[in-house]
Structure 1
């Protein structure tokens, strides 16, 4: 086969791995009953969340449920996980609120499309494994920050019927919550707090009766029925369409792309991170097959593009809904597809009753959801693990709430990386060892220096200072048999040590260079720095004998 044909075959095989196929449904014959039940269950759980996230983002309940339907189906078909359930999420809402405040609700559709294209490109470029570089404390700090923001974002919905719709407060959740409380309509707030409290109570009690009871849906139904039976000032979702809107691709002129590129990059980064984390967790919950992170990115990108065509918002994998899917018996993509079809049925059949749901009831659902995102045992485990991990967790959470989610992840990863590098550098050991056996005259002029552990850029200067500071010696034997990780900086530092000592008239012998380091040492010049090629040894007794011969000649001179 010619090189061109081989390249074409490899390219097609790589592309084919990112596309749907019959292999995606190989378990369907055994799992379809459980998948249907799980899909219906997740659809019931997802309904109030989709409506609530649509409202909280500054868009509409319609945008939330359209996203759950369209993106739910597309991500299930094209994604890389057999059990992932996708749709609007709280983390994405946190990013969308400032975008709506700055660019307007109409810009979200364009941002969604651009972000979808970026995520597809990331998958095609095989960047799916990048999420593995995010440390666990950073992920949990990110989650805690998101939970706090989601909880605070509901405060305006509970303080005034006007602000519930207008979204006139700051894009920062803390400031917006304070502003809404300061301007609260106290003829409205008690009703809203009561409605949210009823929903929260039912959500907390329902699982104690039976874990399969959809507490959020029952709570919303109870509050809606009470609001219809009793004259209340509670603001409602309002009229919903009885069908999906006609698809159309949003106009993307160069000027608009330039304005929205940075927000789109933020949305794309969050969509990729959240989806890959969710898929990774889902793969560990049940034996449903491994997930393909690159294909997952392609699927989530296609889902967001599809959502934009129907006027929806960005979609990501939703860990809460995915976990419900797995616990309910979902094992194939049919479950996620069924969940989206259940939501479509809601739009087609009961959109009018859904429009009567009070916004305060949705706020109650999201507040309880936010509280459930944080596990006290996890927080306690991180805070009591290591000081560095605890600080990374706290810093990520604080930056998430105060500034920006993506900035928080970047700062958290950088901080955790600095802590890890610092900890790793402390494992580098530099010790002077005695000569074993009977001592002879001149042995005090021989220094055996053992360098062990990792030798890299963070520890190189310290090693150089300790070895180069040796005085009163004629020969230095560098033992390297216990050397672990070595980078170019560490290897160059060894060459500098040899050259510095040789310039002072100190003979340097090197013992025990491991085969995995030999190539790097030769390329960087460590071995060329030795005075003679015979100054490289494989065993310590021979190196000591050679050192003694140097000292003997020096003493005899």
Structure 2
């Protein structure tokens, strides 16, 4: 059954031409993934080979066990600020533990079918933190682009920016030249040779020029991090103590949440490009397995990479085999060419990451949401600023909280409770609020149109609307609740308060109640307290019941004529 769950349908009708397509796309994506894997690792504060290990192991496992046929997994730019912060605060070994626990969390999210919950994260929050991450990555590469020396890395964005300003005098023009060559190659290659990966050409071209024309003038991977080993990573279980687990469970949740969002966003992009449908829960399981196993080989957290997944599709991928091939390609390159990678200048890595940051910045969507000048714009700006100036954890927490509070406010604004009377000019005598005036308002029957969800955000306003207008103690209170789609226990509590207070001197009737609110009233006992006979499907029947319970003496001489029956009631006793 498990075998069926993982593999059924993924290779139906698979053929040799399909394999050739997967082989080509896997080769292309594998070649692109090498410089990106190293660049993301360096930017995250760890050695470049750890990015390569992640690309190999997570890339293969995500394709094997994930829920999208086209997903390419590996280290991504989105993780850079979080991973760098964890490395700075807790160290590399603790990053591995945090990554391992993030894998467990993702795996459990998939097993318990929480994949669909990711879609409840509001777009302004995801755009806000994605744009914030892009700014952090871009600014973080300025020092390498300019070849600044003596720059200390900090977790805080402003401190890093301050380091750039302080050390701007140490600019290395050889670094600027190297970075400039790489940047031009990265930007021009897709236009001149669409099938050729720009990052790789930029890296090779700038590295060759730097090595031939001005060797030893710019910092390289080798001079900064040591030689990249051409051996396979060793299996090692990090030492996990209870204190470490307590310390790292928070960062692990952040990694898992971001990994889940990124991978499912990437899978959605792949669906849009291929008219396919991914399995979100299986994708989370695949991401979980990859992130549990990768740290055991020294790899950093991984997720679905949108740009690499799109490249995979554009190059003709037809199955997850292309993702597996991409991992194998990186493995072969590691074994055969690792020593050569040590001579890559850091200045060549900088423009690659800057272009990644520019592409992930969501600038068009950011501006579009911003110009709406709505609550969403506020959530977007707050999330963005907190991501840049505080950290991603706080940004997501505050962004989500703000979105929930503003949504609650919007929902409570929808809630309307207005007094109503039948419109005699309407064929069906529809209950309308504008019919209630100073000269036309029944002193004995108060009818209210209740519209919108009756929940904690609107319950108090609902109670006040009714209690403020029934001070004169009418005989009958009729609540028309056909437009209340939902009620929570807070709403029920306020409704109960009104009903119990009113029942001391009058009769409460309810018409048109929906199944969910009715079910809640049954569970709380309020339905039984009111009495089943006082619930009506139609307002007309409720009104007939209410008219029978009037004090007819009070109707004598009444000039309001709120109902058809009033003409009879007001002169009913004249002949006596």
TM-score, length basis structure 2:
0.86
Asked if structure 1 preserves the Cα contact closer than 8 Å seen for 2:131 and 2:363, the reply is no
SS in 2 for 1:114: helix
Superposed, 1:344-359 pairs within 5 Å as: 344-359=331-346
CA distance in 2: counterparts of 1:51 and 1:442, whole angstroms: 77
SS in 2 for 1:323: helix
Structure-2 residue corresponding to 1:197? 180
Structure-1 residue corresponding to 2:573? none
SS in 1 for 2:414: coil
- The alpha carbon displacement at 1:458 in A equals 0.9
Q: Which of the numbers 8, 21, 25 marks the counterpart of 2:7?
A: 21
Structure-1 residue corresponding to 2:518? 518
Q: Which moved more, 1:247-256 or 1:94-103?
A: 247-256
**Distance verdict in 2 for CA 1:346–1:463, change over 3 Å:** same
Q: Which of the numbers 160, 163, 166 marks the counterpart of 1:182?
A: 166
Q: Which of the numbers 302, 327, 343 marks the counterpart of 1:315?
A: 302
Structure-1 residue corresponding to 2:232? 244
CA distance in 2: counterparts of 1:393 and 1:125, whole angstroms: 30
**Distance verdict in 2 for CA 1:372–1:311, change over 3 Å:** same
- The alpha carbon displacement at 1:522 in A equals 2.4
Asked if structure 1 preserves the Cα contact closer than 8 Å seen for 2:93 and 2:238, the reply is no
- After superposition, the C-alpha distances for 1:201-255 in whole angstroms (9 at most, x for unaligned) are 2222223334323222111122111101212521111122223223233333445
Superposed, 1:360-439 pairs within 5 Å as: 360-385=347-372, 387-437=374-424
- The alpha carbon displacement at 1:137 in A equals 1.3
Q: Which of the numbers 197, 218, 235 marks the counterpart of 1:214?
A: 197
1:538 aligns with 2:526: no
- After superposition, the C-alpha distances for 1:452-474 in whole angstroms (9 at most, x for unaligned) are 22221111111110111124433
- After superposition, the C-alpha distances for 1:501-553 in whole angstroms (9 at most, x for unaligned) are 233x24322222234433222223443443x6543333333333333333343
- The alpha carbon displacement at 1:361 in A equals 0.8
- The alpha carbon displacement at 1:187 in A equals 5.0
- After superposition, the C-alpha distances for 1:455-496 in whole angstroms (9 at most, x for unaligned) are 211111111101111244332221122222222222332222
SS in 2 for 1:481: strand
CA distance in 2: counterparts of 1:27 and 1:142, whole angstroms: 41
1:492 aligns with 2:475: no
- The alpha carbon displacement at 1:375 in A equals 3.3
**Distance verdict in 2 for CA 1:37–1:529, change over 3 Å:** same
**Distance verdict in 2 for CA 1:435–1:308, change over 3 Å:** closer
Q: Which of the numbers 48, 56, 78 marks the counterpart of 2:43?
A: 56
**Distance verdict in 2 for CA 1:115–1:481, change over 3 Å:** closer
Q: Which moved more, 1:535-544 or 1:308-317?
A: 535-544
TM-score, length basis structure 1:
0.89
- After superposition, the C-alpha distances for 1:94-141 in whole angstroms (9 at most, x for unaligned) are 111122222233433333333333333333333323212211111111
Asked if structure 1 preserves the Cα contact closer than 8 Å seen for 2:147 and 2:347, the reply is no
- The alpha carbon displacement at 1:259 in A equals 4.2
Structure-2 residue corresponding to 1:469? 468
SS in 2 for 1:216: helix
**Distance verdict in 2 for CA 1:185–1:109, change over 3 Å:** farther
Structure 1 residues without counterparts, runs of 5 or longer:
1-12
Asked if structure 1 preserves the Cα contact closer than 8 Å seen for 2:486 and 2:516, the reply is no
Asked if structure 2 preserves the Cα contact closer than 8 Å seen for 1:159 and 1:181, the reply is no
Give the aligned length: 536
SS in 2 for 1:28: coil
Superposed, 1:60-209 pairs within 5 Å as: 60-160=47-147, 162-163=149-150, 168-184=152-168, 186=170, 188=172, 190-209=173-192
Structure 2 residues without counterparts, runs of 5 or longer:
426-434, 557-576
CA distance in 2: counterparts of 1:52 and 1:151, whole angstroms: 12
Superposed, 1:438-449 pairs within 5 Å as: 443-449=442-448
- After superposition, the C-alpha distances for 1:232-282 in whole angstroms (9 at most, x for unaligned) are 521111122223223233333445444444333333333233223322332
CA distance in 2: counterparts of 1:362 and 1:93, whole angstroms: 14
**Distance verdict in 2 for CA 1:514–1:131, change over 3 Å:** closer
CA distance in 2: counterparts of 1:436 and 1:105, whole angstroms: 74
CA distance in 2: counterparts of 1:27 and 1:399, whole angstroms: 49
Asked if structure 2 preserves the Cα contact closer than 8 Å seen for 1:149 and 1:174, the reply is no
SS in 1 for 2:98: helix
1:229 aligns with 2:212: yes
**Distance verdict in 2 for CA 1:311–1:481, change over 3 Å:** closer
Larger radius of gyration: 2
1:265 aligns with 2:253: yes
CA distance in 2: counterparts of 1:261 and 1:527, whole angstroms: 45
**Distance verdict in 2 for CA 1:31–1:416, change over 3 Å:** farther
- The alpha carbon displacement at 1:62 in A equals 0.9
**Distance verdict in 2 for CA 1:376–1:156, change over 3 Å:** closer
- After superposition, the C-alpha distances for 1:417-454 in whole angstroms (9 at most, x for unaligned) are 11111111111121211233399999443222111222
Structure-1 residue corresponding to 2:264? 276
- The alpha carbon displacement at 1:162 in A equals 5.0
CA distance in 1: counterparts of 2:480 and 2:252, whole angstroms: 53
Asked if structure 2 preserves the Cα contact closer than 8 Å seen for 1:156 and 1:177, the reply is no
SS in 1 for 2:494: helix
- The alpha carbon displacement at 1:69 in A equals 1.0
CA distance in 2: counterparts of 1:68 and 1:207, whole angstroms: 23
SS in 2 for 1:455: coil
Q: Which moved more, 1:25-34 or 1:295-304?
A: 25-34
